[in-house]
Structure 1
Amino acid sequence: MLIRLAIAVIAAAIAFNIPHSLIPMFKEFVSEATPPPEIQNVLAGKRKIVIVGDSITEAGKYPGGYVWLMERYLSALYPDRKIKIVNAGISGNKATDMQARFHKDAIDQKPDLVMINVGVNEC
């Protein structure tokens, strides 16, 4: 009984704290935030970003994931630009899998910028 109570307390603590750990904290209001110049230059004129990756990228579309956070951050910083992010993450993929599907999943999407996240499944 004591173990069940301990597990319930731990689960409640985790559930209560997860949103706080997943939401980015800004030192200033988002409307006042500006990216550093090197990021502004990389994103200048960009309308579509394709992210190729494995399960980390695929799951990144869910609340708290890095793709989800990136979409919200870019929308807050550039509300008038409507930057679209295409999530091309497939769980279990290795670099060779991503290479085989790169043209279809990235190039054919006609992106302005491509991000490649690989390495977790290579071990």
Structure 2
Amino acid sequence: MIATNDNEGRFPPVEPIAAGLKGCCPRCGRGRLFSGLLKLAPSCDNCGLDYSFADAGDGPAVFVILVVGFVVVGLALWAEVSFNPPLWLHFLLWIPLTVGLSLSALRLVKGVLVTLQYANKAAEGRLDR
């Protein structure tokens, strides 16, 4: 799905998933989405899009916990059954792996969810009166 929001004549269409994975602006596809590891920039430095609309909430954390937890627990169980390593080796292997996978995946998932939120014009639900 190609993003077609406001200013569609000024900016070429951007594929939201690719832009999110690269950490790029959902409107122009060139500016930075993040100002830190996980902190969103206030606006795009290329096209000026204000990122105040973006609210990924707990969505990225939930996806990352489920996927990384499944992978790490599966690997830890396999290692325990196959090799029966001591407990200190489990800690040495799985804690750094969990932290590394979680931080890298969290940035990717947050970027994708923010760009999809822009592309689909998602907003907080409102009651019609």
TM-score range, shorter chain: under 0.3
When you count strand as a share of all residues, which structure comes out higher? Answer: 1
* TM-score normalized by the length of structure 2: 0.23
